[in-house]
């Protein structure tokens, strides 16, 4: 297997995440197991209700390791010096970060894993989740993705790895605790889904505000969709979108965006 530092690099670029009835303490908690359940939508679901092969957020590394030992079709590997578990499909061939099905990462703490599903694991998931992987590989969310996940809290394009031949398109769903990442690279695009802790923290994309151009003569109320290639996409209150050159925005609006980079 490749040294773990190779995966650590891609873990920063990549990553996600389960519905059967779970009864406890007098109330019913619905969860979704991504390998057996086929939800019509994940809207209203939070990441702590999602599982893959019984793995879920909140597990310690040892708990997750014990669960993985019970799956005959999977191979799990860990390094005592790193807070990661990599999961592969059992079979011949070398196990590397390039054919990882999914991973668990405890860098944020012993009970704060991030579950990252690569597109290699799509075939193991149910039809709607397979479709999500397929249709997330697009410049804009398809009608299915918007119905399945709802509006993104924020979308951004990250070019920090452009010199390495990669551009990241990142869509965050904060209330759900989900990040969809599309990695554009010369040898083909990759899509990953990352499950993290859900948060209700307001973001620039959920804040309706008044945007003004640099002359002060034109204004629009709406939320930020994405900033990319020197252009700002805003979603107006009627749901339509408008694209404005960044340089045409007022100094106040440009400062607002800079603070949220």
Q: Give the Cα separation of 121 and 100 in Å (integer).
A: 8
Q: Give SS3 for 88.
A: strand
| Strand pairing category for 102-105 and 209-212 | unpaired
Higher local confidence (pLDDT), 244 or 6? 244
Q: Write down the mean pLDDT value for the chain.
A: 82
* Res 9: pLDDT: 33
The DSSP 8-state label assigned to residue 163 in this structure reads G
Say yes or no: domain 204-259 is CATH 2.30.30.700. yes
Model pLDDT, residue 157:
87
Q: What is the pTM of this model?
A: 0.67
Where are any strands of DSSP class E within the chain?
21-24, 27-30, 32-33, 50-51, 74-78, 84-89, 102-105, 114-118, 154-158, 166-173, 178-185, 190-195, 209-212, 219-228, 231-236, 241-245
User: At residue 166, does pLDDT exceed 80?
Assistant: yes
Residue ranges per structural domain of the chain:
4-195, 204-259
Task: Say whether pLDDT at 200 is over 90.
Answer: no
> Which two structure tokens, joined as six digits, stand for 58?
């909140």
Q: Are 221 and 237 in contact (CB under 8 A)?
A: yes
Q: Give 205-245 pLDDT, tens digit per residue.
A: 556 789 999 999 999 988 887 788 888 888 786 767 889 99
């Amino acid at each position: 297997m490749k040294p773990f530092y190779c995966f650590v690099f891609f873990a920063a670029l990549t990553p996600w995440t389960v519905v059967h009835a779970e009864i406890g303490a007098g109330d019913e908690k619905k969860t979704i197991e991504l390998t057996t359940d086929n939800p019509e939508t994940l809207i209203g679901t939070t990441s702590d209700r999602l599982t893959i092969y019984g793995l879920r957020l909140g597990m310690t590394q040892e708990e997750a390791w014990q669960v993985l030992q019970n799956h005959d079709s999977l191979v799990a590997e860990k390094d005592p010096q790193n807070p990661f578990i990599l999961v592969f499909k059992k079979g011949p061939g070398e196990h590397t970060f390039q054919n990882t099905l999914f991973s668990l990462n405890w860098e944020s703490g012993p009970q704060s894993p991030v579950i990252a599903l690569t597109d290699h694991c799509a075939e193991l998931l149910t039809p709607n989740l397979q479709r999500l992987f397929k249709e997330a590989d697009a410049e804009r969310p398809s009608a299915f993705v918007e119905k399945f996940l709802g509006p993104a809290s924020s979308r951004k394009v990250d070019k920090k790895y452009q010199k390495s031949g990669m551009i990241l398109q990142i869509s965050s769903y904060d209330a759900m605790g989900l990040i969809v990442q599309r990695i554009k690279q010369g040898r083909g695009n990759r899509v990953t889904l990352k499950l993290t802790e859900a948060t209700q923290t307001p973001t620039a994309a959920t804040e309706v505000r008044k945007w003004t151009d640099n002359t002060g003569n034109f204004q629009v109320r709406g939320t930020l969709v994405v900033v990319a290639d020197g252009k700002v996409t805003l979603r107006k209150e009627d749901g339509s979108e408008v694209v404005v050159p960044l340089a045409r925005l007022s100094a106040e609006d440009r400062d607002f965006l800079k603070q949220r980079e």
